[in-house]
Amino acid sequence: MLGGTAIEVTYDIRTLSMAKYETSTRGSGAQTVERACQLLWQISRAGGECARMVDLCSVTGLSRPTVHRILTSLAASGFVRQDVRTRRYGLGVGLFELGLAAPPPVQALPEITRLIDELAEATQDTAYLMMRSHDEVVCVWRAVGAFPIRANIVAPGDRRPLAASAAGLCLLGAMPVKQADDILNGSRRVLPDKCRLSSGELRQLVVDARRHGHSYGEGLVMEGVTGVGRAVPSRTGAPILALSISGISSRITPQRLPTLVAALTDTAQRIAKMIDGSV
């Protein structure tokens, strides 16, 4: 929760191990709902490529008949769709319709996104607003600067492990050390597919973010692309919002870093003041 009522994020279902569900003593109805929620989260993580049945079974620990049965029910409700050509599963239009009725996770979002647009305009690079979702970050807003060579790696709605983004690294750096270590350990299996750096290098970047108050990742996700991140301060606990700027590495240089950090810090403080009055 940020600023009393500004942001509310629920973590429990996303972090439960589906393997445990097979032997759960809870009622079958609640168990089915939990499994359906886990499958939806896994499909969302696949992004535009959609998710394969074999991968959904592998990551959840559920049998193929169980996954097929739940996906069939979700598809009948419009919450899941299946690509006729690839047979992969993606999120359905029903979830979009529900999202239109849901309250925004960030209050004053239009005012905040204008600040992100201004940040991109001032730096001429790509600026992001990212929100923590347990051990991941989700892109809330992206603004593209005027520089002709762009680094648009993440689109709005995309999810990434915390350690696989400049914004996520600074959020890890703002956490208690043990909590950050636990998240890094828990993400070890998925990180090689999402970023180019080793576990040791990522841990050092978190240490650096904790020490300096901002993150700096050269070639973190893509060779030749560098990102800088800054958490949005919160007076109610560890930050769950962060800003980042990305661009080709020849632009995001150590010499230019102080200017970018100053711009990120100013924007982060203005957002914090909008949300809960903190500075």
| 199/184 Cα distance (integer angstroms) | 8
What DSSP line would sit under 24-56, residue for residue? --S-HHHHHHHHHHHHHHHHHHHGGG-B-HHHH
pLDDT(13) > 90: no
Q: Which residues contact 16 (CB under 8 A, 6 or more apart)?
A: 34, 38
DSSP β-ladder status, 89-91 and 136-143: unpaired
Do 39 and 48 contact (CB within 8 A), yes or no? no
Per residue in 127-164, pLDDT (tens digit) is: 999 999 888 999 999 999 998 887 777 888 888 999 99
The domains of the chain, with CATH numbers, are 12-101 (1.10.10.10), 109-276 (3.30.450.40)
For the cut 80, the answer to whether the pLDDT of residue 106 exceeds it is no
Complete DSSP assignment for 111-174: HHHHHHHHHHHHHSSEEEEEEEETTEEEEEEEE--S-SS------TT-EEEGGGSHHHHHHHHT
Q: What is the pLDDT of residues 226-271, one digit of tens each?
A: 999 999 998 877 899 999 999 999 999 999 999 999 999 999 999 9
Residue among 247, 241, 248, 225 nearest 273 (CA): 241
The whole-number pLDDT of residue 62 equals 92
Helix axes 199-212, 166-173, angle to 10 degrees: 60
Q: Is the distance from CB of 231 to CB of 174 less than 8 angstroms?
A: yes
Residue 92 has pLDDT above 50, yes or no: yes
Whole-Å CA distances, 247 to 119, 138, 156, 251, 258: 13, 19, 17, 6, 15
Tell me, what's the pLDDT at 101? 80
Asked if 232 and 268 touch (Cβ cutoff 8 Å), the reply is yes
Question: Does 60 have pLDDT greater than 80?
Answer: yes
> Would you say residue 278 has pLDDT above 60?
no
Greater pLDDT, 128 or 7: 128
**At residue 93, what is the residue type?**
V
What's the rounded mean pLDDT across residues 33-60? Answer: 87
Side chain identity at residue 275, one-letter code: I
Report the chain's mean pLDDT, rounded to a whole number: 84
Are 252 and 150 in contact by the 8 Å Cβ rule? The answer is no
- Confidence category of residue 189, pLDDT binned at 50, 70, 90: confident
Q: State yes or no: pLDDT of 22 exceeds 70.
A: no
